[in-house]
Amino acid sequence: MTPPSPRPILVTGSAGFIGANFVLDWLRERSAPVVSLDKLTYAGNRANLASLDGDARHAFVQGDIGDQDLVEKLLTTHKPAAIVNFAAESHVDRSIHSPEDFIQTNVVGTLRLLQAARVYTENLNDADKSAFRFLHVSTDEVYGSLSPDDPAFTETNQTLPNSPYAASKAASDHLVRAYHHTYGLQVLTTNCSNNYGPYQFPEKLIPLMITNALTGKALPIYGDGLNVRDWLYVGDHCSAIRRVLDAGRIGETYNIGGCNEIKNIDIVHILCDILDRLKPAGRSYRKQITFVKDRPGHDRRYAINAHKIESELGWKPTETFATGIEKTVRWYLDNLDWIASVTSGAYRQWVKTNYEQGIRA
C-alpha cells in the first residue's frame, strides 16, 4: 500500500530574505510540499524562488497575510500541516519613517493570519488539529537594548521595544501567545538575532556595505560604529526553525542566536578585508568608510542566550561568523545581476534619504 503524501506547509513572506532561504532549504531537506504566500513588496523578490519554477512541490501565491479571505481559502484548499509566518515589515530605518506600515503588516496582518488559522483548525479532526503548528518568526529586538555587561536575552526577558518595528513585532508575539491561551491554537514563537546570508535585501548592514563597496560608494556607519549585534547565518536559522517545528513545546518561545557578538564597525572592517582579497580595487575598501549621524533610538547591544533551544531540542549553529560571512560575500560577488535587479530607483532614493541628506533613520 502506498503511504499517503505528506501534507504541505504554508510559508508566508516566502519571497523575502529569510523566507526564501527557508523554502529553498525545506525543499532540499524535506518531502512535504510548500505553499508560498508573499505580497511582493520591495523586499519580496519572486526571483529568489526562481530555481523552484516547475517543481510540483512548490506553489506560489501573491497575496497579503492581511487578506483573511484569501488565507482561509488557501488553508481550505491545501490543508497544510503548519503555517510558518515570516511575513513582516522588518527594517528599523523604514519603521521610523513609516510606522503605520509596520502596524498594518506586523500587527493587523498577524492578527488576521491567526484568525484564519483558528477558523481552519476548528474544522479539523482531533488528530490533525493536535498535529497542526503555527510557527511565528520574530526578533530579538523585542527585548530592547543591553548595556555592555548585561547578560544576554533569554526567553523570560521582559519585552521593551525601542523602535516602531520592534514594538510591532512585540505586539504580534503577544497576539500569537494570546491565540494559544485563549483559543488553544498550537503555536510556537522564535526570536532570532541578526541574520545574514544570500538574498538579503541591501538595506541591511552587510549587503548594503557589500553593494556600496562594489560600486565605489561610501560605506555609511551610524554613530561611532560600536553598536553590538549577535550574527546568525540564515542557513542556521532555517535549520533551527525546522527543529522547533518538529519538536518545540506548544506555546513556548525559543531564542535563536549565532553566538557571534560583533561591533558594527568590526563587521564592516571584516567585509572590506574579504573584498580586498576576493575583489581587489587598487586600494582598501576601508577607505570608503564614512561615519554618519546616528539614527533615533538606536539600540546599543543585542545578545541572544540560546541555551533553551540547545538543551531542549539539541540545536546549535554550525557556521562560525568567519565561514558564514565568507559564503555570504562570495554569493553576492557571484550574483551581481541579482543586486542590480533589486537596487531600483526607489532603493537609491531611500539610501539618499537615510544616509546622504542628514535625515538619519
Distance in Å from the first CA to the final CA of the chain: 60
The three grid cell numbers given for residue 296, joined into one nine-digit string: 533615533
Check if 196 is active-site. Answer: no
> What pLDDT is stored for residue 345 in this prediction?
54
Give the pLDDT confidence score for residue 108 in this predicted structure: 97
Please give the Cα distance from 361 to 356 (Å, whole number).
11
Predicted confidence at residue 30, as pLDDT, reads: 97
pLDDT of residue 293: 93
Among the listed residues 140, 155, 261, 319, the single catalytic one is 140
Q: Of 38, 64, 89, 141, which residue is the catalytic one?
A: 141
Residues 6 or more apart whose CB falls under 8 angstroms from that of 26 comprise: 9, 11, 32, 34, 238, 242
Sign of CA dihedral 325, 330, 336, 341: negative
What pLDDT is recorded for position 90?
Answer: 80
Q: Single out the catalytic residue among 38, 89, 143, 165.
A: 165
173 carries an active-site annotation: no
pLDDT score recorded for residue 213: 97
pTM for the full model? 0.93
- From edge to edge, which strands make up the β-sheet containing 194-196? 194-196, 228-233, 261-263
Question: In the prediction, which pLDDT does 3 show?
Answer: 60
In order of their start, the domains of the chain are 9-197+233-259+298-318 (3.40.50.720)
Mean per-residue pLDDT pooled into runs of 10, the chain (361 residues): 80 97 98 97 88 97 97 98 95 85 95 98 96 98 96 97 95 98 98 97 94 96 96 98 98 97 98 98 96 91 97 98 98 94 66 51 28
Closest listed residue to residue 52, CA positions, set 6, 19, 87: 19
Identify whether 165 is a catalytic site residue. Answer: yes
pLDDT reported for residue 353: 63
